[in-house]
Structure 1
Amino acid sequence: MAKFEVYQDAKSEYRFRLKASNGQSILASEGYSAKAGCLNGIESVRKNSQDDSRFERKKSSNGKHYFNLKASNGQVIGTSEMYESSSGMENGIASVKTNAPNATIDSI
């Protein structure tokens, strides 16, 4: 089953990553100063992941594909890993759409 992992980084900021049932990380958040903000970010992912227009498809300077998931206010909620192809990126978006709404939340 897919899950959101909530953790603190080296700067003591709270972050989450959405992992698919196979353990692959499919979306990672920005840092939050409080755990409550991080949990709100997860709820925003659940809601906004169901709207394809919230996914910003991008290409990095080295030619790899990735996407940002944005809230209705345009703020980036999460960023994907880098993909070799646009089809891999689209599979990642499909995975977020499928997994985010019912993923459990684990604190590590």
Structure 2
Amino acid sequence: MINYSQNLRAFAQAILGSIIQTNLSINFVLLQLSMPRNFVSFTEKGKVIEKFRDNDTSYRFKVKTKSGHTLLNSIAFTQKEDVDKVVQQLQTIKISNNYFERKTDHEGHFLFNLKDANGNLIGHSQLYDSEMGMENGIKNLQNQIATLAQASES
């Protein structure tokens, strides 16, 4: 006599295994598609600037700490050369407080924008819960950029 229950269970397990495998494959493909294209990064004395292609028409960079926290997200640039130029400028200038625009969003979070000597926006920070946190972020970014400037001189 044929045990239909056992056959049905084996069939269900095979189908379920196939569904799980397909789902994992789809998730892997989606993960690959969500990664920035042409991702490039370099480190200087444990500090990191990451330059990457954001989509088909723009390029960006991030300034990060050694531990991987993002200090600054750049604006979108249409040319890779523009990103390289701004990163090079960051490594050669001393960034004083007048390069920073301090702001508060409509929910009471603090953030800052980094501007160049001509007042053009370079990038923006994450959101901070306190003004002290934002000021700390500015100080950390200034230290990071100073470290990069020292590394480019040597």
The two structures have a TM-score, normalised by structure 2, of 0.62
Gaps (5+ residues) in structure 2? 1-45
The alignment status of 1:52 with 2:111, answered yes or no, reads no
CA distance in 1 between partners of 2:92 and 2:110 (Å): 24
Tell me how many residue pairs correspond in the alignment: 104
> What is the identity, as a one-letter code, of the residue corresponding to 1:57?
R
**2:123 paired residue among 75, 78, 81:** 78
CA distance in 1 between partners of 2:93 and 2:56 (Å): 27
Q: Is the 8 A contact 1:44 1:71 kept in 2?
A: no
CA distance in 1 between partners of 2:97 and 2:70 (Å): 20
How far residue 48 of structure 1 moved from its aligned partner, in angstroms, is 5.3
Q: Which has the higher helix share?
A: 2
Secondary structure, in 3 states, of the residue corresponding to 1:26? strand
How far residue 35 of structure 1 moved from its aligned partner, in angstroms, is 1.3
> What CA deviation, in whole Å up to 9, does each residue of 1:72-103 have, x standing for no partner?
11111110000000000001000100012334
Gaps (5+ residues) in structure 1? none
How far residue 6 of structure 1 moved from its aligned partner, in angstroms, is 0.2
Q: Is the 8 A contact 1:66 1:79 kept in 2?
A: yes
How far residue 47 of structure 1 moved from its aligned partner, in angstroms, is 4.7
The alignment status of 1:39 with 2:70, answered yes or no, reads no
Bigger-Rg structure (1/2): 2
CA distance in 2 between partners of 1:48 and 1:91 (Å): 20
CA distance in 2 between partners of 1:2 and 1:68 (Å): 20
How well do the aligned residues superpose, as a CA RMSD in angstroms? 1.7
CA distance in 2 between partners of 1:27 and 1:17 (Å): 6
CA distance in 1 between partners of 2:92 and 2:119 (Å): 14
Aligned to 1:8: 53
The two structures have a TM-score, normalised by structure 1, of 0.87
- Percent of residue pairs identical: 31
RCO greater where, 1 or 2, for CA within 8 Å and sep 6 or more?
Answer: 1
